[in-house]
Structure 1
Amino acid sequence: MAVNETNTPVKSQENTHQNTLTFEDQVIKKIAGIAANEIKGILSMSGGFMSGLTDRFRSTEDITKGINAEVGEKQVALDLKVIVE
């Protein structure tokens, strides 16, 4: 801020930036998958026919199997398909 001769503050013209933080759906799905693996009582995630078929050809398990995520501006909606004890 600049000060004029009468010692009162004068507003300077500064650029203001509005910061936003966004997450991809896949990132949220991975976080939810890791969290679901930590919950007692959840045996596995159920991804459906295509997920089961692709798992046969992979060497590692897909952590996002059975998770659908919709990321909005202020909230996230998660759908989990799990097999419980």
Structure 2
Amino acid sequence: MSQLYAAQAKEHWTRTWPDRVRDLEDPEAFFTQLGQDIAEAIETTTRTLAGEPPAGESYLSRLQRLNTARHTAESHVMRTMVYLEPDQTD
């Protein structure tokens, strides 16, 4: 997944801040690391949001709880680490 996040970040940043991307010493290494950081942040946030399973939770309820946590975490992390406002990258 980190490769997907790296590609999304690179695409967005290249369109939004082309000069900053050009100024990176090693853009591939930068976006590879960013993708890994994003994936780790999503996993950590997902675990936090999902919390402990309630007693007697059914399979479908568990699936829904975990999927909701994952989607919420992914949305939050992408907004805070990739889809930044221009003044947030300084």
- After TM superposition, the score normalised by the length of structure 2 is 0.30
More strand by share: 1
- Higher RCO (CA < 8 A, seq sep 6+): 2
Structure showing greater radius of gyration is: 1
Structure 1 length as normaliser, TM-score? 0.32
More helix by share: 2
